[in-house]
């Protein structure tokens, strides 16, 4: 592109133009000032020409036409180097004004938008102006001549007396600027004489006269007359005032040039046109020519060069002052420079360039560094304007720049200017990064300038391809700091804010925090606290910062907030963090909760518990919804229902991200309760999300809350006050240590019917800032759909409630329920139900999750004290408290019809607790009740109670039962009790066998094996009992009796003759719990007669109170159910007959009759075959028999056999015993034979016995073991799964029991 | 890298890992097991690539990276280079190792091989069992390759092909 | 004094997220160093995207002097896995050899750190051993040249 149209090109064309020095008399100024313009100001609009179209010839006679041209007019007094301080002040003003202009409230554009826009759009517009001003501050230096006046305009007013002399006086030397005096430039310059006539003073004759006089003195064409103020009344209006841009101080611009009418206007224009085209340009052209000839004469050509070199070498000893030797205007160097500059100003850049080059070497040799730099600068610019050899251009600029810097402070300014030009040069060639670095080099120690330069540099980085955003940001921050240093806070804020967009969202927390924090601080300084707070908020949750920083941030933040005076309400305040996912809402519709613990229980569990109690959900829904359905659409079913006067609880979790403690106060819910009205229906009809716009004032607020995510001063307290009547919400205070997390429960209690909306939560951070966090609707939405999936009409997490009018609500409480108990512990508890409201509730039902643990007693045993109520009474009133079958099973417990709770009188009801099994047990109780008055929307409610119980293991009991061979229907019971507690010791009290067909009896008194009745911790006890089945045969009523164990037989395990009363296992709690145990074990054993249940009742040893388990007396009952009595085979038999006989063998052998009673315990027909062996291999059989017996799985039989032997020996005499031992050991048994059939087969009905006669013949006295027979049995059809052993072994073989018969010789 | 470990240990570790993932953790979900094993391989490859690319100039293009895998990376892992590298110049590379050491001690009846096994491990035919077991062992190296490449900035999908044992070829498909 | 020489080292992930940044100055100029490191990423990008413009040899991990700030020198290193190491030194006559050597050792430390199975790729490096190792490397920096 044409260099002249580049920014730099335009700048040069503007700035490097001929200067016209103006000298004028006070009267001239005076008449000009009528227009509130100085003379120069009056002319200046007409000094720049866009198409002046003047033909020019270069030094080498090439014609070209000059189009754009400009003159710079200065008063002679202004033609000097400006004072640095003044210049600085001026620049500062510029910056400050710029700062005032830009508004700090609107957000700066995001850098991505900046990238989209053009360069001019990116940068603040005032940079250009600033740069221009900066350049201006360096004008009129003597080392370069393009600022030196080309012409001098002498102006005299027609009112002056002796104007001719005035002209002469004007140009006497003492008034002239130093440049002309000290010989830096040629004092004899082109002069132009102007006579200014004010038409208001007088007519023009006088002026014309003077003019002719002038012409005669100064020559005709150097003199001109200018008439101004031609309009008598100062009311010349112009659409756009040409002078306005030239007035630096903004004065009312309409009066500018108000006396100058149109032909004045034109006159001035013509004057300037004429001046520049007819005089100045030709003069310069002329001068260029002359100088060029001189230069080429003295310097061009080899000879001159060498001569020049020699000459310079000659004056080597020049003092090395920074700007080298002094060059007078007459010196050839100055002339070359002037030539170059004139050529440059007339756009003859080749000529300029050649001369600059020529001179630069000279200056270099002369070490005239400043001049050298200046020339280098011009070379660069000339190259640029010629748009050739860019590298060299840049090199020159750099060279100039560094040279300026080299000569120290005086060069600094020039360096800056040079730098600016250089930067422009680089910019036009899109070398933005280089430009940026140049900017960086420009900024010296003077902070304000460097701030501006850095900012410009940052924009260069942004413009560079690809944009270097990080550097952009960094330099913005740097310049921001500089701005701050010199109190240009607004600029600082601007820069920082434009940097924000770069750093946001990146993981460089330190930088981000720094930026935001300082913006906040500075806004604070400016008193724009809202914005300050806004930015401070960004850094509040700086968990990555050090503790000190966090404190610092927080403190400053709070200070600023306090400065504001008002209390801010900040949406989504970061301190503390609200864990929205932890949000949990608990409220009572038709489901009420006795304790928060109960509310946490999963709905499904309650559901399963309640389903057969409440009148089936579907009907339940309709029977209160069809009331509604008139005024409420179906959507209503998705919305929650809560009851006026009952609190809605919201659990929400707060987390402190910082390491420092923060104090949170007055945490409460933001709610709106729009009182029920017609528009509610419409709102309802319009669905869940539009629900937020319910209620007049609330709607607007929530709308704001929804869409506007930066803070707003909403006044919740307002609608608090307005709605105070309609609901109350709780307030919580707490303080969070570093990194702590806490869950807070907040409640809101609606008072009137309507629609309650929980919008969010508000809290106060250290008493200064109010934080708001609204539970946003989409979160709710999600939950809402989830809710829809569930059948029930109330999704938990939807925060919109339909408040219905107050209902009676039961409060339930179980007295003295321990949280710890030992297994088997039986307690007597009382359930208390209260109803605060005056309406009655009725038709109560109750259900308990696990009747093994909790059982419902009868009203009357409220009074009865425990455990004595369980003690056995006389048989007469024993029938009093029998397990009432209604509360046995899992079914719902119905309170008596007439029970209705009202007012203050609570309903008390007894409960039995039995810690059935060790472990952590959760008990769920739900009470169903119906409203007294039919009008209420909700017909029924349920009260849900939940308790946790820890059950510790106490006693492990196990029973082993084995049939006793010698007697039918008798069993040996071995009870093993282990005290598995750590510290407790128990006193075994009684063992009861359940069911009337069993009788249990002590085999051996307890004292003998167990002198101290208390079982210490870890101690084990095993003792034996005799269990007798007193059942004749299988009858139907036995079956029933097993179902309801009314009777039982007990054994006191207490010390001998202790009169402690036995407990009646048939009384309600024990019986019920026993039944539950049976149920728990399952129906499988049901009706299997071969099983027996035991209940072991123990009590804690009196003297030690069990810790954690409160008030004695205690009772422990341990239930063992379905202990199977059936041994390995269903067949049991007994050989019956005499044990000792006397016979005279001399007479004959002896026939002995015996009988065998066989019992079939299987409930199927069994066929049994008895085989007897002859005596030959009997001994073998004996041994074999014994072995088989001893290896019998139930090892106790062995023990039993021994015991019986002992008995036998007791029965027989010692002698016989000794002999018996001998006979057994020494010689084989004397032979006896089985007489009668060797094999008998019989059929046995189930549960029946039969007798088989046996006969043996004995031939000699002795002791005989009649065990050498075998029973083969087969159960014909065992279809009963109950008796495993019997079923599994449908047939088998049994060795005979030893039966010792001693036959003695009868004397 | 002073620390070294015996190859047999590595081999048995690999087999153990595979077996425990296939038979214990995700016994009945082979896809899941495969994914887990592959993920482990990915991490290993990710870290190894970090280590083995030290002291070497950055790769200018994908081919260089692949070559690195074939040469240095492979020889670091298996003390041998990939024997044959093929590419279609459209982002698919086939790295063939004629004697892949992790399969060297694995006896698989080559007849019963159905092609790209580590891709479809769904085939339940009994004669395919061995092949499946093998393919399970190949998810780990696949993961290693994928991890290494993705750490080098080349997202890709890697699969193995054991149609002709003991040669094993890994197919790398670079995600465009 | 060698430990004065390096004022800051940083590991920056391939998404230009800081994985590890540690300054070794008494003064509290962490922020400035953050800025310097952050800016240097621009230069790294520039170097990598058009290496011919910047004089650095093609694709070498060592990127050389990224840019000199007023009183720092910033050197860069880009691993094959697009992880950047930045080191900021104070003394202005650092020998490239030293820096290369430093980076080599630093890279080794980094590799060991990320090879820790408990390290999540792309997350900040919190291993203490790594920090210790880095500080020793930093302390020993330039000793070879100094002594």
Q: Which subunits have 3 or more CB–CB pairs within 8 Å of chain A?
A: C
Whether residue C57 lies inside any domain: the answer is yes
Q: Does one domain contain both A1067 and A1156?
A: no
With the C-alpha atoms ordered A723, A728, A729, A732, is the resulting torsion angle positive or negative?
positive
Tell me if C34 and A510 make a contact (CB, 8 A cut-off).
yes
Query: Is residue A831 pLDDT above 80, yes or no?
Result: yes
User: Average model confidence (pLDDT) for chain C?
Assistant: 78
Residue A820 sits at φ, ψ, to 5 deg, of -135, 135
Looking at residue A553, its pLDDT comes to 81
Q: Which residues pair with A921 in a beta bridge?
A: A949
How much is the average pLDDT of A440-450? 78
- Would you say A1026 and A1051 are in contact if contact means Cβ atoms under 8 Å apart? no
What's the pLDDT tens digit per position in A983-996? 778 877 788 887 77
Structural domain includes residue A979: yes
Last residue of a domain, one of A922, A951, A980: A951
Task: Please give the average per-residue pLDDT across A488-512, as a whole number.
Answer: 78
Q: Does C14 touch chain B (CB under 8 A)?
A: yes
Check whether C103 has a pLDDT greater than 70.
yes
User: A298-312, A536-550, A1252-1266 — which is least confidently predicted?
Assistant: A298-312
Q: A324-353, pLDDT tens digit by residue?
A: 566 777 777 788 888 888 888 888 888 888
Residues of C in Cβ contact (< 8 Å) with B59: 59, 80
DSSP category for residue A1063: B
> Which carries the bigger pLDDT value, residue A711 or residue A412?
A412
Give the whole-angstrom CA distance, residue A83 versus residue A137.
Answer: 8
Amino acid A1211: pLDDT: 33
Residue A870 placed within a domain: no
pLDDT at residue A699, rounded to an integer: 35
pLDDT surpasses 50 at A1216: no
pLDDT at A1053: 72
Q: Judge whether residue A266 has pLDDT over 70.
A: yes
Lowest-pLDDT range, A244-253, A417-426, B84-93, B95-104? A244-253
Across the range B145-159, mean pLDDT stands at 87
B152 contacts in chain C (CB < 8 Å): 80-81
In a domain, A1166, yes or no: yes
Q: What is the pLDDT of residue A715?
A: 34
pLDDT of the residue at A999: 80
C50 at interface of B, judged by CB pairs closer than 8 A: no
Domains of chain B: 7-174 (3.30.1380.20)
Asked if A691 and A640 count as a contact pair (C-beta separation under 8 A), the reply is no
| Cβ contact C42–A511 (<8 Å) | no
Domain match, A815 and A961 both: no
- Where do runs of H (alpha helix) occur along A407-431? 409-428
Put simply, whether C30 touches A (Cβ < 8 Å) is yes
Residue among B46, B57, B153 minimizing CB distance to C60: B57
Give the pLDDT confidence score for residue A1221 in this predicted structure: 36
CB-based contact, C68 to chain A, within 8 Å:
no
DSSP string, A557-622: HHHHHHHH-SPEEEET--SSEEEEEEEEEE--SSEEESSHHHHHS-HHHHHHHHTTTTT-HHHHHH
What confidence tier does A1199 reach under pLDDT thresholds 50, 70, 90? very low
- Please give the angle made by the CA atoms of A266, A270 and A275, to the nearest 5 degrees: 150
Predicted confidence (pLDDT) per residue in A1243-1256, tens digit: 888 777 888 888 88
Contact A1269, A1234 (CB under 8 A): yes
pLDDT, tens only, A570-592: 777 777 888 777 777 777 777 77
Helix, strand or coil for residue B46?
helix
Question: How far apart are the C-alpha atoms of A792 and A53, rounded to whole Å?
Answer: 93
CATH number where A1040 lies:
2.60.40.1230
User: Does residue C1 belong to any structural domain of this protein?
Assistant: no
Q: Is residue C13 part of a domain?
A: yes
Q: C120: nearest CA in chain B?
A: B43
Q: Do both A102 and A164 map to the same domain?
A: yes
Mean pLDDT of A64-69: 82
Percent of chain A with pLDDT over 70: 73
A699 lies in some domain: yes
Please give, rounded to a whole number of angstroms, the shortest distance from the CA of C5 to a CA of chain A: 23
CB C115 to CB B51 under 8 A? yes
> Is the pLDDT at A159 greater than 50, yes or no?
yes
- C38/chain B closest Cα distance in angstroms: 22
Residues A905 and A1005 in one domain: no
Are C79 and B53 a contacting pair at CB < 8 A? yes
Domain boundary among A1105, A1124, A1143: A1124
> What are A477's two structure tokens?
């921050």
A978 shares a domain with A940: no
In chain A, whose CA is at the least distance from the CA of C19?
A507
Contacting residues for A172 by C-beta, under 8 A, at least 6 apart: none
Structure confidence at residue A621 (pLDDT): 43
Is position A883 within any domain? no
Give the best-scoring range by mean pLDDT among A963-972, A1231-1240, C73-82. C73-82
Mean pLDDT of B147-175: 84
Residue A540 lies in a domain: yes
**Residue C16, in any domain of the structure:** yes
Look at residue A8 and tell me whether its pLDDT is greater than 70.
yes
Distance CA A256, CA A236 (A): 9
Angle between helices B7-19 and B30-52 (to 10 degrees): 150
Closest chain C residue to A511, measured at CA? C31
Q: A511 vs C34: CB contact, 8 Å cut-off?
A: yes
Q: For residue A869, tell me if it sits in a domain.
A: no
Check which CATH number belongs to the domain holding A823 and give it. Answer: 2.60.40.10
Sign of CA dihedral A304, A307, A309, A312: negative
Query: What are the tens digits of pLDDT across the range A786-811?
Result: 333 333 333 444 677 778 777 778 88
A1161 and A1084 fall within a common domain: no
Whether pLDDT at C2 is above 50: no
Chain C window 105-134: which residues touch B at a Cβ cutoff of 8 Å? 107-108, 110-111, 114-115, 117, 121
- All residues of chain C having their beta carbon less than 8 Å from the beta carbon of residue A510 are 30-31, 34
Q: Write out chain B residues lying below 8 Å of C59, CB-based.
A: 57-60
Determine the distance in angstroms separating the CA of A465 from the nearest CA of chain C, rounded to an integer: 10
Q: Taking CA A322 as the corner, what is the angle to CA A319 and CA A326, rounded to the nearest 5 degrees?
A: 65
Pair (A1038, A1145) in one structural domain: no
A900 and A985 share one domain: no
Same domain, A322 and A470: yes
The verdict on a CB contact (< 8 Å) between A474 and C38 is yes
pLDDT at site A235: 66
Q: Which residue has the higher pLDDT, C147 or A493?
A: A493
Q: Are residues A1160 and A1171 in the same domain?
A: yes
Boundaries of domain holding A744: 577-618+628-804
Q: Give the C-alpha distances (Å, rounded to integers) separating A514 from A486, A496, B35, C39, C98.
A: 19, 10, 44, 16, 34
Q: Answer whether C32 touches A (CB < 8 Å).
A: no
Count of the separate structural domains present in chain C: 1
Q: Which domain holds residue C13?
A: 6-146
Q: pLDDT at residue A563 above 80? A: no
- Give a yes or no: residue A508 inside a domain: yes
pLDDT value of position A96? 81
* Residue range B115-124: mean pLDDT, rounded: 44
pLDDT of residue A971: 80
Check residue A855 and give its pLDDT: 80
Average pLDDT, chain A: 72
Contact C81 B47 (CB under 8 A): no
Q: Tell me if A466 and C45 make a contact (CB, 8 A cut-off).
A: yes
Q: Tell me the nearest-neighbour CA distance from C144 into chain A, angstroms.
A: 34
Element (H, E) at A921: strand A919-931
Judged by 3 or more CB pairs under 8 A, whether A touches C is: yes
Whether A322 has a pLDDT exceeding 80, the answer reads no
CA A858 to chain centre: 53
Could you read off the pLDDT of C122-138 as tens digits, one per residue?
Answer: 788 888 888 888 888 88
Name the residue facing C78 among B50, B56, B58 (closest C-beta): B58
The answer to whether residue C49 is domain-embedded is yes
Check the CA dihedral C130-C131-C136-C141 and report its sign.
Answer: positive
pLDDT of res. B133:
75
The answer to whether residue C55 sits within a structural domain is yes
DSSP per residue, C72-124: -EEEEEE-TTS-EEEEEESSS---HHHHHHHHHHHHHHHHHHHTSTTPPTTS-
Q: Which is higher by pLDDT, A937 or A344? A: A344
pLDDT band for position A943 (cuts 50, 70, 90): confident
- The answer to whether residues A334 and A211 belong to one domain is no
Query: What are the distances in angstroms from CA A371 to CA A334, A402, A1263?
Result: 10, 13, 152
Interval A364-410: pLDDT, tens: 877 778 888 888 888 888 888 888 888 888 888 888 888 888 887 77
**All residues at 6 or more sequence positions from A811 whose CB lies less than 8 Å from its CB, including other chains:** A594, A833, A834, A835, A836, A943
Q: Of A101-110, A564-573, A905-914, B64-73, which range is least confident? A: A101-110
Please indicate, yes or no, whether residues A119 and A91 belong to a single structural domain of this protein.
Answer: yes
At A1088 the pLDDT is 62
Cβ distance A506 to C41 less than 8 Å, yes or no, reads no
Instruction: Please indicate whether, in this complex, the C-beta atoms of B60 and C81 are within 8 angstroms of each other.
Output: no
Domain containing C115 — which CATH number? 3.30.450.70
Phi, psi (degrees; rounded to nearest 5) at C40: -60, -25
More confident residue, A314 or A682: A314
Q: Any contact of A with B, at least 3 CB pairs below 8 A? A: no
- Domain of A390: which CATH number? 1.25.40
d(CA A877, CA A859): 18
The total number of structural domains in chain A stands at 6
Least confident of A1230-1234, A1242-1246, B67-71: A1230-1234
Which of A548-557, A581-590, B32-41 comes out lowest in average pLDDT? A581-590
The larger pLDDT score, comparing residue C68 to residue A979, is at A979
Q: C35 lies in a domain?
A: yes
Residues of A with CB under 8 A from a CB of C: 461, 466, 468-471, 473-474, 477, 506-508, 510-511, 514
**Quick count: other Cβ atoms within 10 Å of Cβ A1297?**
19
Give the mutation candidate from B17, B151, B153 for the C interface (greatest C CB count, under 10 A): B151
* Domain termination site, one of A1067, A1100, A1124: A1124
Nearest to A909 by CA among A929, A935, A936, A889: A929
């Amino acid at each position: 592109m044409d260099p002249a149209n580049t920014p730099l090109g335009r700048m040069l064309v503007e700035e490097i133009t001929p200067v016209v020095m103006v000298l004028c008399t006070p009267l001239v100024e005076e008449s000009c000032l009528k227009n509130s313009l100085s003379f120069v100001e009056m002319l200046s609009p007409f000094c720049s020409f866009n198409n002046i179209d003047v033909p020019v010839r270069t030094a080498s006679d090439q014609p070209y036409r000059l189009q754009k041209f400009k003159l710079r007019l200065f008063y002679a007094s202004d033609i000097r180097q400006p004072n640095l301080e003044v210049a600085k002040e001026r620049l500062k003003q510029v910056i400050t004004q710029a700062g005032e202009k830009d508004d700090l409230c609107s957000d700066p554009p995001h850098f991505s938008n900046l990238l989209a826009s053009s360069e001019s759009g990116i940068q603040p517009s005032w940079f250009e102006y600033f740069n221009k001003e900066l350049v201006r501050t360096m004008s009129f230096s003597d080392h370069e001549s393009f600022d030196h006046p080309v012409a001098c305009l002498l102006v005299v007013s027609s009112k002056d007396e002796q104007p001719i002399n005035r002209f002469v006086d004007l140009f006497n030397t003492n008034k002239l600027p130093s440049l002309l005096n000290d010989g830096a430039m040629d004092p004899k310059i082109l002069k132009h004489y102007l006579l200014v006539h004010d038409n208001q003073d007088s007519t023009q004759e006088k002026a014309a006269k003077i003019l002719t006089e002038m012409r005669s003195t100064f020559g005709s064409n150097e003199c001109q007359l200018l008439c101004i103020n031609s309009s008598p009344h100062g009311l010349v209006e112009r659409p756009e005032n040409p002078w306005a841009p030239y007035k630096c101080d903004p004065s009312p611009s309409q009066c500018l040039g108000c006396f100058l009418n149109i032909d004045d206007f034109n006159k001035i224009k013509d004057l300037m046109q004429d001046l520049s085209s007819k005089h100045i340009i030709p003069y310069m052209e002329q001068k260029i020519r002359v100088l060029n000839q001189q230069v080429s004469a003295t310097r061009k050509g080899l000879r001159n060069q060498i001569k020049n070199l020699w000459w310079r070498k000659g004056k080597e000893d020049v003092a090395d002052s920074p700007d080298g030797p002094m060059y007078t205007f007459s010196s050839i160097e100055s002339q070359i420079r002037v030539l170059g500059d004139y050529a440059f100003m007339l756009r003859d850049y080749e000529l300029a360039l050649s001369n600059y080059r020529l001179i630069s070497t000279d200056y270099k040799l002369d070490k005239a560094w400043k001049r050298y730099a200046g020339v280098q600068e011009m070379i660069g610019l000339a190259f640029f304007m010629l748009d050739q050899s860019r590298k060299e251009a840049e090199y020159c600029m750099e060279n100039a720049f560094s040279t300026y810097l080299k000569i120290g402070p005086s060069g600094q300014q020039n360096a800056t200017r040079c730098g600016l030009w250089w930067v422009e040069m680089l910019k036009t060639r899109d070398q933005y990064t280089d430009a940026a670095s140049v900017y960086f080099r420009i900024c010296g120690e003077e902070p304000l300038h460097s701030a501006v330069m850095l900012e410009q540099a940052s924009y260069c980085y942004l413009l560079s391809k690809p944009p270097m955003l990080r550097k952009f940001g960094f330099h913005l921050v740097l310049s921001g700091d500089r701005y701050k240093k010199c109190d240009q806070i607004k600029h600082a804020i601007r820069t920082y804010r434009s940097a924000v967009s770069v750093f946001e969202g990146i993981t460089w927390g330190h930088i981000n925090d720094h930026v935001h924090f300082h913006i906040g601080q500075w806004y604070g300084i400016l008193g724009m606290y809202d914005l300050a707070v806004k930015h401070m908020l960004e850094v509040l949750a700086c968990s990555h910062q050090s503790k000190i920083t966090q404190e610092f941030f927080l403190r400053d933040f709070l200070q600023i907030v306090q400065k504001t005076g008002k209390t801010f309400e900040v949406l989504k305040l970061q301190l503390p963090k609200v864990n929205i996912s932890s949000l949990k809402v608990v409220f009572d519709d038709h489901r009420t909760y006795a304790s928060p613990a109960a509310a946490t229980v999963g709905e499904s569990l309650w559901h399963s518990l309640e389903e057969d109690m409440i009148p089936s959900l579907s009907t339940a829904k309709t029977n209160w919804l069809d009331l509604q359905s008139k005024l409420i659409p179906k959507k209503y079913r998705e919305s929650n229902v809560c009851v006026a006067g009952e609190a809605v609880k919201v659990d929400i979790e707060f987390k402190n991200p910082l390491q420092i403690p923060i104090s949170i106060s007055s945490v409460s819910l933001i709610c709106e309760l729009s009182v029920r009205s017609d528009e509610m229906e419409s709102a309802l009809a319009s669905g869940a999300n539009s629900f937020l716009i319910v209620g007049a004032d609330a709607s607007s607020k929530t709308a704001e809350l929804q869409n506007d995510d930066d803070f707003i001063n909403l006044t919740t307290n307002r609608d608090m006050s307005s709605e105070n009547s309609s609901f109350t919400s709780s307030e919580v205070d707490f303080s969070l240590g570093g990194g702590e997390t806490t869950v807070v429960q907040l409640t809101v209690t609606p008072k009137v019917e309507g629609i309650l909306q929980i919008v969010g939560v508000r809290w106060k951070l250290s008493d200064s800032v109010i934080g708001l966090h609204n539970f946003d609707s989409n979160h709710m939405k999600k939950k809402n759909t989830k809710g829809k999936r569930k059948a029930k009409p109330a999704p938990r997490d939807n925060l919109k409630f339909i408040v219905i009018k107050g209902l009676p609500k039961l409060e339930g409480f179980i007295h003295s329920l321990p949280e710890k108990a030992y297994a088997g512990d039986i307690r007597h508890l009382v359930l208390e139900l209260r109803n605060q409201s005056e309406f009655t509730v009725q038709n109560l039902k109750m259900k308990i999750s696990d009747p093994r643990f909790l059982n419902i007693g009868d009203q009357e045993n409220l009074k009865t004290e425990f455990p004595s109520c369980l003690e056995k009474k006389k048989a007469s009133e024993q029938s009093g408290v029998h397990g009432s079958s209604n509360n046995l099973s899992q079914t719902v417990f119905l309170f008596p019809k007439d029970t209705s709770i009202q007012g203050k009188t609570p309903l008390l009801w007894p409960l039995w607790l039995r810690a059935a099994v060790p472990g952590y047990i959760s008990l769920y109780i739900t009470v169903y009740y119906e409203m007294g008055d039919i009008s209420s929307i909700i017909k029924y409610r349920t009260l849900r109670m939940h308790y946790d119980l820890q059950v510790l293991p106490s006693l492990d009991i196990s029973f082993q039962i084995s049939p006793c061979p010698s007697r039918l229907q008798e069993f040996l019971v071995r009870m093993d009790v282990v005290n598995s507690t750590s510290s407790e010791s128990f006193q075994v009290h009684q063992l009861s066998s359940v069911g009337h067909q069993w009788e249990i009896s002590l085999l051996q008194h307890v004292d003998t094996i167990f002198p101290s009745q208390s079982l210490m911790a870890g101690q084990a006890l095993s003792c034996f009992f005799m269990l007798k089945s007193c059942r004749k045969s299988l009858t139907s009523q036995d079956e029933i009796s097993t179902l309801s164990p009314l009777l039982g037989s007990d054994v006191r395990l207490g010390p001998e003759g202790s009169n402690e009363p036995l407990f009646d296992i048939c009384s309600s709690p024990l019986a019920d719990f026993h039944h539950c145990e049976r149920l728990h074990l399952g129906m499988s054993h049901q009706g299997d007669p071969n099983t027996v249940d035991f209940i072991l009742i123990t009590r804690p040893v009196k003297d030690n109170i069990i810790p954690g388990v409160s008030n004695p007396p205690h009772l422990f009952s341990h239930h063992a159910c379905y202990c199977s009595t059936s041994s390995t085979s269903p067949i049991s038999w007994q050989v019956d007959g005499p044990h000792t006989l006397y016979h005279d063998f001399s007479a004959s052998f002896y026939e002995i009759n015996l009988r065998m009673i066989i019992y079939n315990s299987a409930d199927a027909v069994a066929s049994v075959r008895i085989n007897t062996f002859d005596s030959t291999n009997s001994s073998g059989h004996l041994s074999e028999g014994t072995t088989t017996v001893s290896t019998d799985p139930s090892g106790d039989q062995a023990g039993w056999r021994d015991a019986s032997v002992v008995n036998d020996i007791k029965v027989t005499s010692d002698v016989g015993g000794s002999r018996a031992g001998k006979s057994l050991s020494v010689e084989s048994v004397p032979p006896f034979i089985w007489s009668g059939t060797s094999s008998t087969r019989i059929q046995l009905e189930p549960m029946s016995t039969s007798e088989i006669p046996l006969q043996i013949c004995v031939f000699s006295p002795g002791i005989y073991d009649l065990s050498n027979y075998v029973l083969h049995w087969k159960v014909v059809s065992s279809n009963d799964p109950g008796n495993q052993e019997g079923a599994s072994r449908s047939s088998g073989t049994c060795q005979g029991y030893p039966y010792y018969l001693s036959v003695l010789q009868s004397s | 890298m002073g620390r070294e470990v015996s190859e047999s240990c590595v081999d048995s570790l690999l087999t153990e890992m595979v077996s425990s993932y296939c038979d214990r953790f995700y016994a009945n979900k082979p896809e899941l097991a495969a994914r887990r094993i592959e993920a482990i391989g990915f991490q290993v490859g990710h870290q190894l690539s970090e280590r083995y690319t030290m002291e070497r100039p950055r790769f200018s293009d994908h081919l260089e990276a692949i070559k690195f895998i074939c040469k240095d990376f492979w020889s670091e892992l298996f003390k041998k280079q990939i024997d044959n590298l093929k590419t279609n110049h459209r982002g698919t590379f086939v790295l063939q190792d004629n004697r892949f050491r992790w399969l060297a001690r694995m006896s698989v009846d080559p007849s019963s091989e159905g092609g790209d096994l580590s891709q479809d491990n769904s085939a339940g035919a009994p004669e395919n069992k061995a092949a499946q077991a093998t393919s399970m062992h190949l998810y780990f190296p696949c993961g290693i390759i994928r991890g290494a490449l993705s750490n080098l900035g080349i997202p890709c999908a890697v699969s193995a092909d054991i149609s002709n044992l003991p040669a094993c070829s890994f197919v790398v498909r670079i995600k465009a | 004094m060698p430990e004065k020489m390096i004022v800051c080292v940083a590991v920056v992930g391939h998404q230009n997220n800081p994985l590890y940044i540690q300054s070794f100055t008494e003064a509290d100029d962490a922020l400035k160093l953050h800025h310097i490191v952050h800016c240097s990423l621009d230069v790294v990008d520039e170097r990598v995207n058009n290496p011919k413009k910047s004089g650095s040899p093609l694709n070498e991990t060592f990127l050389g002097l990224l840019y000199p700030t007023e009183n720092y020198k910033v050197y860069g290193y880009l691993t094959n896995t697009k992880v950047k190491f930045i080191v900021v030194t104070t003394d202005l006559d650092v020998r490239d050899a030293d820096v290369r050597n430093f980076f080599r050792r630093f890279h080794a430390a980094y590799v060991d750190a990320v090879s820790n199975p408990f390290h999540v790729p792309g997350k900040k490096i919190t291993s203490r051993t790594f920090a210790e190792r880095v500080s020793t490397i930093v302390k020993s920096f330039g000793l070879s040249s100094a002594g």
